[in-house]
Amino acid sequence: MHNAMPQADQAGYAGHAESSPLVVVTADPFNAETRLDAQLGVLTPNPMFYVRDHFAMPRIDLANWRLTLDGEMARPLALTYDELRALPRRSLLVTLECAGNGRRALDPPAEGEPFGYGVASTAEWTGVPLRTVLEAAGLRASARDVLFVGADGGRVPEAGGATMAFERSLAVERAMHPDTLLAYAMNGEELPTAHGFPLRVLVPGWYGVAAVKWLVRISALATPFTGFFQRDRYIMTHPERGDTTATPLTTIRPRSQLVSPTDGATLPRGKVRLRGLAWSGAAPVERVEVSVDDDKTWRAADWTSEPARYAWRGWEYRWEATIPGPATLRSRVFDAEGHTQPATEEWNRLGYANNAIQVVRVTVA
């Protein structure tokens, strides 16, 4: 039997030592960021990968677990773990980013977990293309949305105290994309409990909310899904502007992130290596520019890793830090479709998709 970690052990998953790769943001439900300065390569080791939970981690008995496929399907299925793993598989290098990454930088503060810049990580994911199981179940032409239901659930105060599972849907077109996976392995290992064992959805290029964990059911729907986590959360709203529309979050916005040095660091005078990561869900990243003089001038950084369609790329910039005192560092990315980052935050009530240029303040000794 595979059981989730008890709540008392979940905080210990990250630990509290300075050397821990995770920084606990909330213990119940468990949410933790990757330490930026611990991200040394493109791949994020499983124990370092950020954790985003909405409810307590569920307990999964693999012997009794089934993935149920129902709804607008000609041949409803109930697949075992072994049956899923016997199907043709794919592996993809994919960066997952929580839509709340950078929320703590918003002023005034927005609703939601107070995440800094550590809820983005990259892994090699292995699993079954979702379209394989949808075709096996005979997805009907009447289907419009594909709903994913996780084993996690609980009471949601923001929904009037209603009890619900974590549920999200995809339009059929996206669900049938060949790169949308049902992932059961992460960096060559069995999917860890904290990351959705035994099975999770993976939607490359989209914010992590689409990657439903602890998957137990897939339902094809003839009408659009309007559940709480689809209609009331993970949407961009601007009521302060008099805008009553709600735009669903899908594609990850471009972001360049400085991982070393970190904000508040004191640096020796001389040659300093600035190190960062850059990614975009819409298109491959093409270049990164760095400013070491508080936005006055920008210069090109050098790539330190090879491109991958759905994963971030490492970059570095060699800075001659010759003037002692405070310095303000920035970086920005441009992708192949011309998207880049705004200079200031797009404030929204729920604090999503803040990809404004990160400001890192350091002192040269």
DSSP characters over 50-72: -EE-SSPPPPB-TTT--EEEEES
Last residue of a domain, one of 248, 273, 291: 248
With a cut of 60, say whether residue 128 has pLDDT above it.
yes
For the residues 233-257, what does the mean pLDDT come to?
A: 87
CATH number of the domain where residue 111 is located:
3.90.420.10
234 and 268 co-located in one domain? no
Last residue of a domain, one of 227, 248, 269: 248
296 and 175 co-located in one domain? no
CB 24 within 8 A of CB 32: yes
CA distance 249 to 21: 28
Does 349 reside within a domain?
Answer: yes
Does 102 reside within a domain?
Answer: yes
CB 360 within 8 A of CB 258: yes
CA distance 283 to 280: 6
pLDDT at 20: 66
Tens digit of each residue's pLDDT (9 = 90 or more) over 23-32: 999 999 999 9
With a cut of 80, say whether residue 6 has pLDDT above it.
no
For the residues 249-255, what does the mean pLDDT come to?
A: 97
Query: DSSP string of 107-172?
Result: SSPPSS----S--EEEEEEEEEEHHHHHHHTTB-TT--EEEEEEEEEEEEGGGTTEEEEEEEEEEH
Q: Which helix (H) or strand (E) holds 82?
A: helix 81-85
Does 231 reside within a domain?
Answer: yes
3-state secondary structure of 36: helix
For the residues 39-46, what does the mean pLDDT come to?
A: 95
Question: Token digits for 44?
Answer: 């994020």
With a cut of 90, say whether residue 52 has pLDDT above it.
yes
pLDDT at 239: 72
Which range is least confidently modeled, 10-19, 153-162, 306-315?
A: 10-19
235 and 322 co-located in one domain? no
Does 99 reside within a domain?
Answer: yes
284 and 215 co-located in one domain? no
CA distance 22 to 306: 26
3-state secondary structure of 236: strand
For the residues 197-211, what does the mean pLDDT come to?
A: 98
Q: Quickly state the pLDDT bin for 250 (edges 50, 70, 90).
A: very high
128 and 178 co-located in one domain? yes
Last residue of a domain, one of 248, 271, 306: 248
Does 2 reside within a domain?
Answer: no
CA distance 98 to 120: 6
CATH number of the domain where residue 338 is located:
2.60.40.650
Does 1 reside within a domain?
Answer: no
236 and 336 co-located in one domain? no
3-state secondary structure of 84: helix
260 and 186 co-located in one domain? no
Per the prediction, the chain carries an average pLDDT of 93
55 and 116 co-located in one domain? yes
Q: Quickly state the pLDDT bin for 16 (edges 50, 70, 90).
A: very low
CB 152 within 8 A of CB 60: no
CA distance 114 to 351: 9
44 and 96 co-located in one domain? yes
pTM: 0.93
Number of structural domains the chain divides into: 2
181 and 63 co-located in one domain? yes
Does 240 reside within a domain?
Answer: yes
98 and 182 co-located in one domain? yes
CA distance 103 to 234: 13
Percent pLDDT > 70 in the chain is 94
184 and 271 co-located in one domain? no
Given 3-state DSSP classes, what are the helix, strand and coil percentages for the chain, each rounded to the nearest 5? 15, 40, 45
Tens digit of each residue's pLDDT (9 = 90 or more) over 97-122: 999 999 999 999 999 999 999 999 99
pLDDT at 71: 98
Q: Quickly state the pLDDT bin for 3 (edges 50, 70, 90).
A: very low
What is the domain range of residue 57?
Answer: 7-248
Residue whose entry in the numeric block shows the structure tokens 């697949």:
79
Does 315 reside within a domain?
Answer: yes
For the residues 257-265, what does the mean pLDDT come to?
A: 96
With a cut of 70, say whether residue 12 has pLDDT above it.
no
CA distance 252 to 95: 10
